[in-house]
Structure 1
Amino acid sequence: MSYFKPFPMLQNDQLLLRYMEEEDARALFQLRSDAEQMRYVNRPLHQSEAESLAHIEMLQEHIETGKSISWAISLPGHPRMLGAICLFSFSDDRKEAEVGYELHPNVQRQGLMKAALKLVLEYANEQLGLRYVHAHTHRDNEASKRLLAHYQFRILGASPIEQDSFWYRKQL
């Protein structure tokens, strides 16, 4: 059973959250191979576009099986992927999930992630009926912490999984 059919494209005047396609592998590689961009993320850097393509194919499979949902962030009328946002780690009763996001450095500080998170939180509440959305961020990632505070995420405490990171939760 797929929870995400038809795929929910989300849009406002500022941006479009759309299905991530194989053609987005280059943009994803640029994002995930940049050591500075990934400094707050505890995962290996992508080493090739082929690795990014394999990641996109995995995300597509997760959408198909209902395990998670990921959107490419782009501008209306301009298909180039600028970043990504996803809901994953759904609870067994599908009332809680974690949100993750990344944005190309050239388009940061323009309000795009704020707009993207707003769309995803509305979708999580209105379409999925989630009670809580969680987020995980590095303690030094001030931009991410400001974004979460803007949407009234509350800090739960230090992460037992990742040193120097914190867990947040928002009740919908």
Structure 2
Amino acid sequence: MLHTFPTLKTNLLVLREVLAKDAASVFAYLSDEQVVKQMGLAPFQSEADALEEIDWYASIRRNGTGIRFGISLPETDVIIGSCGFLNQSDRHQRAELGFELNPSYQGQGIAKEAALAVIEYGFKELSLNRIEALVLPENISSQRLLERLGFQREGLLRQYEKTRGRFDDLYMYSLLRNEWSF
């Protein structure tokens, strides 16, 4: 049974459920080639694409395989990115961390603050033991962020995913519960 969607608050951010009313702001950053190329997606062409993404966020929560929080600034409540878990396994107590941010807000510590809140939620509320992250080798900024958060690079998964018509190599990063200080 699903409970009320959790809201996480940090010093600068509110992480909340992404709703249909947020489609325009989600479209604003997921239509940007620089954002979606790191996710293996084509740029969104319309708000309808954003609505499908928002529906997908709801479906992973319903089926217990993840949770995706919209990142917003408290003064505007506009979604400027998202952060959350995919491929969650209760049996193995692990999930994959993912995040993206509107380029207008990058370089301000927002992704780090959002990720810290979501990681803590994963370890405390979801009882995760391991949080993974898969990153394209050319995505240096995400690799640096993960390393600042305490993740360790475990290795290169060669031709791990097929996205946009090609096979991509991905670095596997992980953070274990016993490496995290609450």
1:110 maps to what in 2?
108
1:61 corresponds to 2:59: yes
1:140 corresponds to 2:138: yes
Cα distance in 1 for partners of 2:112, 2:90 equals 28
**Matched residue of 1:159: which SS?**
strand
List structure 1 segments (4+ residues) > 4 angstroms apart after TM superposition: none
Cα distance in 1 for partners of 2:135, 2:112 equals 15
* Counterpart code for 1:146: R
1:13–1:76 contact (8 Å) kept in structure 2: no
1:69–1:87 contact (8 Å) kept in structure 2: yes
Quote the offset at 1:39 in angstroms: 2.8
2:180 maps to what in 1?
none
2:33–2:42 contact (8 Å) kept in structure 1: no
Quote the offset at 1:65 in angstroms: 3.0
Count of aligned pairs between the two proteins: 170
**Matched residue of 1:43: which SS?**
coil
* Counterpart code for 1:167: M
Cα distance in 1 for partners of 2:100, 2:86 equals 14
Cα distance in 1 for partners of 2:91, 2:56 equals 23
2:35–2:103 contact (8 Å) kept in structure 1: yes
1:50 corresponds to 2:48: yes
1:165 maps to what in 2?
170
1:78 corresponds to 2:110: no
Structure-2-length-normalised TM-score? 0.88
Structure-1-length-normalised TM-score? 0.92
**Matched residue of 1:102: which SS?**
strand
In angstroms, what is the RMSD of aligned CA positions?
A: 1.4
Change (3 A) 1:15 1:62: same
**C-alpha offsets along residues 58-95 of structure 1, whole Å, 9 cap, x if unaligned?**
21132233221111000113210110011110125050
2:93 maps to what in 1?
95
